[in-house]
Amino acid sequence: MPNTLTVSKNGRRRRSSSLMYTEPPESLEQLSDQASLPNLNAEWVNAKGAWIIHLVLICSLKIFFDIIPGVSQETSWTLTNISYMFGSYIMFHWVRGVPFDFNAGAYDNLNMWEQIDDGDQYTPAKKFLLSVPVILFLISTHYTHYDFTYFMINFLATLAVVLPKLPWSHRLRFGLFSGPPEDR
């Protein structure tokens, strides 16, 4: 893939017009920093009750949307799906780095999904986190009675969360703020 940065006449680096950017591999210093301490930002997904919180969140969202007057079951399931997918995308794929200041910025270029299990694919935690959006999509599609409009909304929301979890999109950034940290 071509470099997304070019050098202008005055020697400053500028962004290209590309909306895709592949994060370069970590330097030896970053790898050393990552190996020195546990990553508390991503270790919690393997904790004993971490998986159950997703089910509690989904049930809480469903109850919340059910108690709003005038919201049908179809709309309630779609809003639950969209809310979970939006929160999941922000948490696992949008925010980069670690909110704690104990690792000297070793994970600043990685989002939480890339930090989980040291970036290994298809670990039990990642399989679970990949299956939850798919199962929620299937449930919401069933309870919206396969209506085409609801189906497309639920499908696009699920697609936006599932695609960044796939191995081919590891360290791949999309969008206006996809460049290296010095350009953001």
Backbone angles phi, psi at 99, to 5 degrees: -75, -10
How much is the pTM? 0.77
Give the start-to-end residue ranges of the domains of the chain: 5-183
Q: What is the pLDDT of residues 45-59, one digit of tens each?
A: 888 888 999 999 999
**How far apart (Å, rounded) are the C-alpha atoms in residues 25 and 103?**
18
Locate tokens 């919201």: which residue?
71
Average pLDDT over residues 2-19: 49
pLDDT at 62: 97
Give residue 172's pLDDT band: very low, low, confident or very high (50, 70, 90).
Answer: confident
Helical segments of the chain, H only: 28-36, 40-43, 50-66, 73-89, 112-115, 124-143, 148-162
**How far apart (Å, rounded) are the C-alpha atoms in residues 137 and 72?**
17
Yes or no: say if 43 and 117 are a contact pair by the CB < 8 Å rule.
Answer: no
Of 46, 183, 12, 68, the C-alpha closest to 115 is 46
pLDDT at 84: 97
Backbone angles phi, psi at 16, to 5 degrees: -85, 175
E strands of 23-171, at which residues?
none
